[in-house]
Amino acid sequence: MATKEFPLRPEQIERVETKYRRIRTPIPVPESVPLLEKLRELEPRSMGGQPPVIWHHGEGATIGDRYGNRWIDFSSGVLVTSVGHNHPEVMKAIRGMADQGLYHAYCFPTEIRLQLIEELSIWLPAPLKRVFLLTTGSEATECCLKLARTWGLKAGGPAKRVFVSFENAFHGRTMGAQLAGGAAALKNWLSETDEFVQVPFPDGFRQPDTSFAVFEKSLAAKGVDPEHVCGVMSETYQGCNATIMPPAYAQALRRWCDRYKALMIFDEVQAGFGRTGAPFGFSHLGVVPDLAACGKGIAGGMPLSAVLGAEELMGMYGPGEMTSTHSANTICCAAALANLRAIRHERLIDNVVRLAPILAEGVRRIVKAARGRIGHHDAIGLVGCVQFTRPGTTAPDPDPAWEMVLRAVQRGVMLFAPVGVGGCAIKINPPLVIDEEALREGLEVLEQVAATV
């Protein structure tokens, strides 16, 4: 949630030259400022919250600009390039498909679509058997919403239409996704509706009581009859931090959904395909949802998303009733297939498991260096988060978070703008291919920066 802009005034930076980082110009680069200004002039202001660096190329866990600067990438785009930038197999697949000749096959089957779905079936636990390919994460979460509402109609009639999600959740920017989202600040453009209800996420910070009793009490307090709930959707770890749902909570939620015939839906758009050190975020929780929405890291940097679902749910719409024009774009499918194979063949999930304690330790060091300015931190797999808060409170403190991002970028570690409640959270999520040396170097930079903001 970018609520600010980074200044476009070039700052002279001490030269950085290591194996992974190179900063040899002021940042922003003076020659790039007119281009950045032009973007700010022509795009909506909402696009202005991005760090003032014009990306030009990438390689594994580093990215570069055309002015000779190079960064360790702790953003993975925005948790997209799990196999690293410019992965040779993904590139080969994209080129191969393009060389076959570009065609568009929305209304027609393709072999590459089948190959990708077969690959996905290797990843999927029962009963998630059916795969519906889409383009963006929001499209996937919206589709889950539609399926839950359709299921509600079927299982309980028109009254079974309440969709439950979690405070501070993020499911995308389209209308249904934002109604299900849990950030009040993003919903000013929407009118009140009792069909979407949010309950506290058991993060142990803004909601200290992580027991499932809170879920039931919150619904009761909002006057929701559990029989009227058609679905419950949550990220497995919340994207505004890196806090995973406690397994006991997830298991109680699974039982609750079964009892009230509500669909259990996990939004795996960020967590899916290895980010947390397991195939899916829910792999840590001892449950399998009825539906999962995937995106981001599924396709190595190309726009592709997927809804994974149980047979009964994915059969509710008849031929031609649930489709999307760019569904299964052949080049995106080829990239996704190569990406998922690379994650398996290169054993990237093992790399995540091996590096996770190093990231967690680095996050703790950053917290220490920030001298009480960071109120909450967390890490799972290769995603970590620190939240700047006013000392001794949970109130967000965005200014030091923004300063930390800018200082890190100026010293050769790429982060995206702060996210989360009040824009106070810095996410650390390098590509899953990062090596230990680069990870340690980037974390050390962040520790040094945290000591100065």
Ligand X SMILES: Cc1ncc(COP(=O)(O)O)c(C=O)c1O
Q: Give contact residues for ligand X (rule: CB under 6 A).
A: 136-138, 141, 170-172, 235, 239, 267, 269-270, 295
Shortest distance, CB of residue 267 to ligand X, whole angstroms? 5
Residue nearest to ligand X (CB): 137
Nearer to ligand X among residue 302 and residue 340 (C-beta)? 302
Site of tokens 């979690």: 166
Which DSSP state fits 241?
S
Residue 239 CB, shortest distance to ligand X, in Å, is 4
Amino acid at 449: V
Q: Which is nearer to ligand X, 424 or 449 (CB)?
A: 424
Query: To the nearest whole angstrom, how small is the minimum distance from the Cβ of residue 170 to ligand X?
Result: 5
204: CB partners within 8 A, 6+ apart: 210, 243
Q: Count Cβ atoms below 10 Å from residue 7 Cβ, excluding itself.
A: 10
The residues, ordered by sequence, that sit 6+ positions from 220 with a Cβ below 8 Å of its Cβ are none
Q: Which is nearer to ligand X, 298 or 343 (by Cβ)?
A: 298
The residue (of 203 and 267) whose beta carbon lies closer to ligand X is 267
Taking the complex as a whole, the smallest distance from the CB of residue 411 to ligand X amounts, in Å, to 26
Q: Based on CB atoms, which residue is closest to ligand X, 137 or 309?
A: 137
Closest CA to 271 of 129, 380, 397: 380
Residue 368 Rama label (left phi>0; alpha psi -120 to 50; beta)? alpha
In the complex, what is the shortest distance from the CB of residue 199 to ligand X, in angstroms, rounded to a whole number? 17
Find the shortest distance in angstroms from Cβ 270 to ligand X: 4
Distance CA 327, CA 445 (A): 41
Nearer to ligand X, 62 or 168 (CB): 168
Residue 148 and residue 347: Cα distance in Å, rounded?
35
CA atoms within 13 Å, Cβ hemisphere of 193: 16
> What is the C-alpha separation between 207 and 239, in angstroms, rounded?
16
- How many CB atoms neighbour CB 43 within 10 A? 10
